[in-house]
Amino acid sequence: MKNLIYVKNIVLLIALLFAVSGCKEEKGWNLLEDDQAKPGVITNVSVTNGFGNATIRYSLPESDNLLYVKATYQMANGENRVVKSSQYKNEILIDGFPDTQKHVVKLYAVSKAEIASDPVDVTVEPKTPIFDLVYGQLKVVETFGGVRITSINKEKGNIVIVPMVDSLNNGEFLPLDNYYSQDSVILYNIRGLKSKEMKFAFYIRDRWLNTSDTLYKTLKPLEENLFDRQQFSSLRLPGDAQVLYGTVESMWDGNMNPSRWPSLYTVESAGTPQSLTFSVGKEAKMSRIVVFPRRENGFYDKGNLRDFEVWASNNPNLDGSWESWTKLATCTVRKPSGTPSGTNTNADEVYGIAGWSFDLPEDAPKYKYLRIKNLRNWRGSYFMQIAQVQVWGVY
């Protein structure tokens, strides 16, 4: 019995020692956080100026109490901006500059107790900001049903194109849909406008609301109408896809339910690119084609088109050969989010519901027949799944 009591006392003593030891370690960490000593200053500063930004590199002061480095500087609107960088890095990005003037940035080393060092003044001189570079390449012309905006965003910066229109010619410019982009090549069509002369205004901004100059243009959009689907008819040619569910005609029956079933669905075992053919009723100037995918596990799955071609003819050879056809467009569907199949964002959903719209050449002659050739679906194979098709232009 005495031995048992002795063992219990030893165990109790060991546990007490661990508890005391743990308290000492925690107290030591707290002492580090409560250290009110001012850290040393940042040294060995160098600057690499970028487009509307600058990267500042430096050496950190010797300190076990260092938590981060912060930079403070004044924005164009007069507000002071604070940017922080971890103690494990030796550089900090300063951005949001609207011009190429010299700006003073103050650098501080900050301790775990949030005590800042004396400041080090660093002068940066950014290059031309990206929104101004994009504005310098901005071009706007008339197109079917609206205007076409093009530019170059070589540095792939996040920019917003802000279009406005004075449709009543009274000097009041009202906003149209903004266009957000980080692409190197910008091509954006504003649709749904009347074919009449109107005054437009366009400027570029960044996410800090810095803005470029404004481009003013007087433009007259070209007439564009949605073709009458009741005039459409299918044309079955040798070599065209074998339909498994639905019909070719179901592509223009007006049922816009994205989850509709059945919809056009061709045999999945197809081992080569698949095509289907139809007439728009009579020869017409075609401005664009809109393909509406069927939603099952999202829009970017199964036989929904991913890479495809649009061909046109007025006198198609009935043997199914391609010699009598002219290729109007090679089209690639890109998810707005860029995420893999099976992962979809709200932007992906909106794009699928709106339909995948592709422009056709403005200088192309009138055509009566269209042929869609599927090169790859979202499964990486050739079968096709289409809910609806719209064709726009002028008869």
Mean pLDDT, rounded, for 65-87? 94
The structure's pTM equals 0.78
Residue 4: is its pLDDT beyond 60? no
Predicted pLDDT at 208: 95
Evaluate if residue 82 carries a pLDDT over 50.
Answer: yes
Question: Sign of dihedral through CA atoms 136, 141, 144, 145?
Answer: positive
Tokens 């569910």 belong to which residue? 245
Mean pLDDT in residue range 141-151 = 96
| Whether residue 147 has pLDDT greater than 70 | yes
Which pLDDT does position 3 carry in this prediction? 47
Identify the structural domains of the chain with CATH numbers, from first to last: 43-124 (2.60.40.10), 130-222 (2.60.40.10), 226-394 (2.60.120.260)
Structure tokens at 230: 């009741």
Between 19 and 79, residue with greater pLDDT: 79
Structure tokens at 175: 């906003």
For residues 341 and 194, the model is more confident at 194
pLDDT at 45: 97
- 10-47 residue pLDDT tens: 444 444 444 444 444 443 444 456 678 899 999 999 99
Percentage of the chain modeled with pLDDT above 90: 84
Return the pLDDT at 5: 44
Pairing of strands 225-226, 388-394: antiparallel
Q: What is the pLDDT of residue 16?
A: 45
- The mean pLDDT value of the chain amounts to 91
pLDDT tens track for 208-252: 999 999 999 999 999 999 999 999 999 999 999 999 999 999 999
For the chain, give the percent of residues with pLDDT over 70: 91
pLDDT at position 32: 54
The pLDDT score that the predictor gives to residue 33 is 62
Q: For 266-281, write each residue's pLDDT tens digit.
A: 999 999 999 999 999 9
The answer, yes or no, to whether residue 290 has pLDDT greater than 50, is: yes
Q: Which long-range CB contacts under 8 A does 244-251 form with residues at least 24 apart?
A: 244/268, 248/276, 248/278, 251/278, 251/386, 251/387, 251/388, 251/389
Three-state DSSP string of the chain: CHHHHHHHHHHHHHHHHHHHHHHHHHHHHHHHHCCCCCCCCCEEEEEEECECEEEEEEECCCCCCEEEEEEEEECCCCCEEEEEEECCCCEEEEECCCCCCCEEEEEEEEECCCCECCCEEEEECCECCHHHHHHHCCEEEEEECEEEEEEECCCCCCEEEEEEEECCCCCCCEECCCEEECCCEEEEEECCCCCCCEEEEEEEECCCCCECCCEEEEECCECCEECCHHHCEECCCCCCCCEEECCHHHHHCCCCCCCCCCCEEECCCCCCCEEEEEEEEEEEEEEEEEEECCCECECCCCCEEEEEEEEEECCCCCCCCCCCCEEEEEEECCCCCCCCCCCCCHHHHHHHHHCEEEECCCCCCCEEEEEEEEEEECCCCCCCEECEEEEEEEC
For residue 266, the number of C-alpha atoms closer than 13 Å in the C-beta half-sphere is: 26
Q: What confidence tier does 322 reach under pLDDT thresholds 50, 70, 90? A: very high
**How many angstroms separate the Cα of 295 from the Cα of each of 229, 232, 332, 376, 380?**
22, 24, 18, 17, 17
